[in-house]
Amino acid sequence: MLRFAPSPTGDMHIGNLRAAIFNYLMAQKLQQPFIIRIEDTDLERNIDNKDKQILQILDCFNIKYDDIIYQSNNFPLHRELAHKLLKEGKAFYCYCSKEFLESKREEAKKNKLAFRYDDTWAQLEKGNKQTSPIIRLRANIDISFHDSIRGKLQFHSNELDSFVIMRNDIPTYNFACSIDDREMSYIIRGEDHISNTPKQILIQRALGFNTKIQYAHLPLILNEAHKKMSKRDKASSVEWLLSQDLEAQAIANYLILLGNSKLEQHIGELFTYQECLSHFSIEHISSNAARFDYKKLLQINRDVLRNSLRNERNKHSVYVKLQNALDRQLESCNKKSQLNISQNFEEMILLYAQEVSTTAELIAHCCNIFVPIATKRERLQEFHREFDTLVQLLHKQPNFTNYVDMKNYLVAESQLKGKAFFKPLRMILSGQEHGIELDKLYSVLKQHIPFILTL
């Protein structure tokens, strides 16, 4: 069994999503159940409805799961097992106050030593009624485990002091996680959990679990400044990426390929989860931190968008979005829409799809064609007189079937050339100063020019 264990305390980070995807893929590859465990044990920091938001994102990324478990429902078991460890002498009550422990930390800092908890401190403040005892697990053995990405990792007993497993009758993260992971076969998570793993192994051994878990700790994702991505980096938020109109498949594919050049060599950038399974291997992921490249993500998104337009359902979805956007735009100009997107715009959509990275950009380009003529004139920095001349000539022009004939007619009648001709003409046809070659644009626009000139 594999699991994805998010905490409902904030927005989903791309590192969390990456872990969710990898656990899902590994579950598919091993043909094992995959569950979602909402780790809601931090009662003070939990945010209402964040769990639903997490599940919606997983659904958006087509991550299927067999069950949802809320960790807080397991509190009775956690408490029972903590008291079992107390009875067996593997855990003990600690009465140290926060102030006492802080003084010991300061003392270690002054002496330039790493802070280590000393078991002999446990009973020193037992008579202090203002201090509620916590439960600590004894840690006095070496721990090693094999990481699928990093190889053998070893922790010596002097690196692990006795640590807290229960506080105010609430299990700590490591204690709850260790118990709830007892049926897992593989755990894939971020490298920030490496220090938690030896503690969790200690807990499972103390409880007598015969748990054989394979671990993989994914490397950090860095921002463009080569620093760990934080909440201050907009692109670290999955919600923000989706709000930029990026396709879920593009985001997923980018995260799957991040730090995995071997996989990209085998399957490229366009693939489904099912298509990448036969080549997917967690061992091929580099142990080095990977830099998040937004431009690369946009490139993959562009390819996913183009590919999706081959699918009738996806194409229809774009048609609906474009139709709604154009209807709203024309209504704001007091113009009734005469445009039927599904019948007349396929070539235009496919043409612009070669130039854009997102559906939103595609729709914006198409909508620019149908902004009022006066607005297009204002967008030009120069050549306003030439713009007016070409508009008048286009009103009078015969119905040319190809761009060359139309261009020759306009040049002959206006005597314009160079930038003075092409810049205003492009603005009239596209609503933009730069973009697709005019001959290609004219071929998909010619039937709409009479309507464009009335706006």
For residue 32, give both structure tokens.
Answer: 């094992």
pLDDT level of residue 337 (50, 70, 90 thresholds) = low
- Distance (Å, rounded) from C-alpha 235 to C-alpha 237? 5
Q: How many residues does the chain have?
A: 455
pLDDT at position 197 is 98
Cα–Cα distances in angstroms (integers) from residue 112 to residues 45, 105, 115, 118, in the given order: 33, 10, 9, 17
Q: Is the model's pLDDT at 340 over the cut of 80?
A: no
152 within some domain = no
* Region 258-279 average pLDDT: 92
Verify that 450 and 436 share a domain, yes or no. Answer: yes
Verify that 290 and 329 share a domain, yes or no. Answer: no
Residue predicted with more confidence, 197 or 116? 197
Average pLDDT of the chain, as a whole number: 93
Q: Is the model's pLDDT at 23 over the cut of 90?
A: yes
pLDDT at position 333 is 76
Verify that 375 and 362 share a domain, yes or no. Answer: no
pLDDT at position 343 is 60
In degrees, rounded to 5, the angle at the alpha carbon of residue 20 between the alpha carbons of residues 317 and 306 is 30
82-113 confidence digits (pLDDT tens) = 999 999 999 999 999 999 999 999 999 999 99
* Region 208-226 average pLDDT: 94
Verify that 375 and 365 share a domain, yes or no. Answer: no
Last residue of a domain, one of 308, 328, 348: 308
Verify that 415 and 384 share a domain, yes or no. Answer: yes
pLDDT at position 241 is 96
- Distance (Å, rounded) from C-alpha 104 to C-alpha 91? 22
299 within some domain = yes
Q: Is the model's pLDDT at 409 over the cut of 90?
A: yes
* Cβ neighbours for 190, distance < 8 A, ≥ 6 positions apart: 15, 19, 217, 218, 220
Q: Is the model's pLDDT at 280 over the cut of 90?
A: yes
Identify the CA nearest to 207 among candidates 41, 71, 122, 88: 88
341 within some domain = yes
pLDDT at position 426 is 96
Give the count of domains, the chain: 3
pTM given for the model: 0.90
98 within some domain = no
pLDDT at position 201 is 97
Verify that 244 and 298 share a domain, yes or no. Answer: yes
Verify that 382 and 359 share a domain, yes or no. Answer: no
Output the domain CATH number for residue 245: 1.10.1160.10
Verify that 303 and 333 share a domain, yes or no. Answer: no
* Strand ranges across the sheet with 143-147: 151-155, 143-147, 214-218, 186-190
198 within some domain = no
pLDDT at position 94 is 95
pLDDT level of residue 46 (50, 70, 90 thresholds) = very high
* Region 267-285 average pLDDT: 93
Verify that 302 and 316 share a domain, yes or no. Answer: no
Last residue of a domain, one of 370, 390, 417: 370
Cα–Cα distances in angstroms (integers) from residue 212 to residues 30, 126, 270, 303, 375, in the given order: 15, 38, 35, 41, 68
Verify that 410 and 440 share a domain, yes or no. Answer: yes
Output the domain CATH number for residue 401: 1.10.10
349 within some domain = yes
Verify that 344 and 383 share a domain, yes or no. Answer: no
Cβ count within 10 A of residue 399: 9
Domain that holds residue 246: 234-308
214 within some domain = no
Q: Is the model's pLDDT at 147 over the cut of 90?
A: yes
pLDDT at position 336 is 67
CB 386 within 8 A of CB 345: no
pLDDT level of residue 447 (50, 70, 90 thresholds) = confident
* Region 193-214 average pLDDT: 95
pLDDT at position 376 is 95
Verify that 327 and 379 share a domain, yes or no. Answer: no
The beta strands (E) that lie in 196-246 are given as 214-218, 221-222
Q: Is the model's pLDDT at 341 over the cut of 70?
A: no
393 within some domain = yes
pLDDT level of residue 236 (50, 70, 90 thresholds) = very high
pLDDT at position 12 is 94
* Region 266-291 average pLDDT: 94
